[in-house]
Amino acid sequence: MGDTSKPSKGRLHGVSLSPFVRKVRAVLAIKGIDYELVNVMPGAMDPAFLAISPLSKVPVWEEEGFSVPDSSVIAAYLERIVPEPALLPEDPRRLARDLFWEEYADTRLVEAGTPAFFQRVVRAKIFKEEPDEELVQRHLEDLLPPVFDQLEATFLPEVDADRITLGAISVWSPMVNLEHADAALDAAEWPGLAAFVDRLNAQPQLAAIVAEERAMLGNA
């Protein structure tokens, strides 16, 4: 297929600070797919939203006559309808590894990093409440370092420096939330991972997403 298969304009339901929504926004930007971002909080119980997101999670992709939830499913769909530039490797083994790192990022990395983001950004900046810094420090000091170690030792050797894959986007996206929370990783301890994040942050389509979020948080 070519560009003729692109949807005329889709709707992405979610909030831009969600790492899962950001992942899909990155895919859309790289593939040049036009869309409207519809702000919906995860857990929304509006019947119209539940009709397209039975688990009440974000993101949800919607176009005329079709909708699908879940960032991994959406990314796979977009890869099929707009195959270029490709974000999934053609080689079966490299494809399998890339999909594994997407899953790793969506689970272990997000779970280890989300409390720092929630406390310092959602709770402190949005809800104007006192963050639980004891919880933040436990994640920064005890839970995130082993994840960074695994990414540095195992993920980075598989990264293709000449292209961006879905696995790479999936790892990058939660790292942006840590930067928003003033909890960026120590480049001296994890130099490869820090360089990887910097490289993706500098990619024009991804840089525009990050700049938009920083401006929204007053960090521009």
Task: Calculate mean pLDDT across residues 6-31.
Answer: 93
Output the pTM of the full model: 0.94
Measured distance CA(104)–CA(147) in Å, rounded: 10
Q: Which tokens is 185 given? A: 């990783």
Measured distance CA(151)–CA(146) in Å, rounded: 9
As annotated, the residues of the chain forming the CATH 3.40.30.10 domain(s) are 3-81
Q: Which tokens is 153 given? A: 């030792």
Percent of the chain with pLDDT over 90: 87
Lookup result for tokens 């961006």: 164
Residues contacting residue 132 through CB under 8 Å, at least 6 positions apart: 119, 123
As annotated, the residues of the chain forming the CATH 1.20.1050.10 domain(s) are 92-216
CATH top-level class of 92-216:
mainly alpha
With contact defined as beta carbons under 8 Å apart, do 26 and 33 qualify?
Answer: no
Write down the mean pLDDT value for the chain: 94
Task: Identify the three-state secondary structure at position 11.
Answer: strand
Q: Which tokens is 37 given? A: 């971002």
In CATH, the number for domain 3-81 is: 3.40.30.10
What digits encode the pLDDT tens for the residues 147-194?
999 999 999 999 998 999 999 999 999 999 999 999 989 999 999 999
